[in-house]
Amino acid sequence: MTRRLVSQLGFALLALRAGSSLAVDSYRYMHVTIETPWMIFLFLLVAVFVPFILMLVLMWRRPAQKPTDESDAATPAQKSQR
């Protein structure tokens, strides 16, 4: 309880202390050109479509691994019933 009160008091003091002197001009440190939105778009495009491509590859690969012979496809329980 005491730690929580001390941390809240410290946060309140820091919030009151924060002023324009702590503000950061982000444009001073980051140069944004017309290429920036395109780079973001291409990154997000890859991030969205890679899982779909992986899913398609796994869907096509999985049937290729299944046995085609009916005797191989039978489970041990089905083989014992024969």
| Angle CA 52–54–57, to nearest 5 | 110
Q: Residue 55 has what pLDDT?
A: 93
* pLDDT tens string 28-62: 667 778 888 899 999 999 999 999 999 999 998 87
- pLDDT at residue 75 greater than cutoff 70: no
- Cα–Cα distance for residue pair 82/80, rounded to 1 Å: 5
Q: Residue 73 has what pLDDT?
A: 57
* pLDDT tens string 7-37: 888 888 777 776 655 666 666 667 778 888 8
